[in-house]
Chains A and B, each alone.
Chain A
Amino acid sequence: MSDDLRLPIKSDADVVTARQQGRELAARLGFGECELTLIATAISEVARNIVEYAGRGEVVLSLTDVNNSPGIIVVARDEGPGIPNLELALRDGYSTHGSLGLGLPGARRLMDEFEIVSEVGKGTTVTMKKWLPRHTMRFPLSPRR
């Protein structure tokens, strides 16, 4: 599957677009409503970090199928200032911008796999994956979207 979707991120409107596109792409794989919201929320967090800390960057969305295990891959990349202390940045409640400090650690909890590479002065790349569960959990939701 090569449905790579490259989305430039430079404003808060792009953050909304990225999470909507992510939801749509993941829905094609058959994720349930609940997981779609987890994925969209995680994308919202990492995309906002790009706008807030780097000013601009991109989110790349793609589908994968490793050993018959389908999933969605979200890569958020920027060439911003980088993160000096990753351990601290991944700690709940730590923020240098007066936010709640739950963005990165929260996104990590929402997804199945989470990897972050950052170099000061070079930029930051976050790679997150969510695998389609064999039994998708579903809340009995009425259609609203």
Chain B
Amino acid sequence: MQVPILKQGDYLIASVQAVLTDTDLLELRDRLTEQVGTYRARAVIIDLTVLDVMDSFATRTLRALAQSLRLRGAATVIVGIQPDVAFAMTQLGLQLGSVATALDLEEGLELLRRQERRGGSHVR
């Protein structure tokens, strides 16, 4: 199922609505990397609230996605990772590296606005 991507000001918000197959994830990666250019977005928020499982493939793909977006000049914030998913990721030994995270969409937006108010560059 295709993940809807909403444009809000300078930001793109990808809101995962259902479980994701590997193909869905790769498709999301390609579409976001492209749309950052189309909409001249400065940041992308990926909302994973409903994601059931974050395994090694999903982690690797999201990490690579954040790196590609950075190369395209946009910051990435991953939001909504649930407690049980976070716990499983830790057990598995998975890390998101330097990708910014926030509790939920609201906190993610706040994180980006704070960075902007500071006048500096976005989260990395």
> Which A residues fall within an 8 A CB radius of B?
12-13, 15-16, 19-20, 23, 33-34, 36-38, 40-41, 44-45, 48, 92, 99-100, 102-103, 105-107, 109-110, 139, 141, 144-145
Q: Could you tell me if A102 and B56 are in contact, using CB atoms closer than 8 angstroms?
A: yes
Q: Could you tell me if A139 and B94 are in contact, using CB atoms closer than 8 angstroms?
A: no
Show 19 A/B contacts (Cβ-Cβ < 8 Å), sorted by A. Answer: A12-B21, A13-B21, A13-B23, A15-B21, A23-B52, A34-B83, A34-B88, A38-B91, A41-B54, A41-B89, A44-B55, A100-B60, A100-B94, A102-B92, A103-B55, A109-B91, A110-B92, A139-B84, A145-B50
Chain B's interface size range is 20 to 34
> Which B residues fall within an 8 A CB radius of A?
19-23, 49-50, 52-57, 59-60, 82-85, 87-89, 91-94
Besides A37-B85, A109-B93, 11 new A-B residue pairs in contact (Cβ under 8 A), listed by A number? A12-B21, A16-B21, A20-B52, A33-B84, A40-B52, A41-B92, A99-B56, A110-B88, A141-B84, A144-B49, A145-B52
Using Cβ atoms and an 8 Å threshold, which residues of chain B touch A36? 84
Using Cβ atoms and an 8 Å threshold, which residues of chain A touch B55? 41, 44-45, 48, 103
Using Cβ atoms and an 8 Å threshold, which residues of chain A touch B56? 45, 99-100, 102-103, 106
Using Cβ atoms and an 8 Å threshold, which residues of chain A touch B87? 34, 37-38, 139
Using Cβ atoms and an 8 Å threshold, which residues of chain B touch A12? 21-23
| 8 Å CB contact of B92 from A13, A106, A139, A144 | A106
Q: How far apart sit A23 and B55, CA to CA, in the bound complex (Å)?
A: 15
Minimal beta-carbon separation of B19 from chain A (angstroms): 5
Q: Could you tell me if B84 and A34 are in contact, using CB atoms closer than 8 angstroms?
A: yes
In the complex, residue of chain A having the shortest beta-carbon distance to the beta carbon of B93: A102
Minimal beta-carbon separation of B105 from chain A (angstroms): 14
| 8 Å CB contact of B22 from A19, A48, A144, A145 | A48
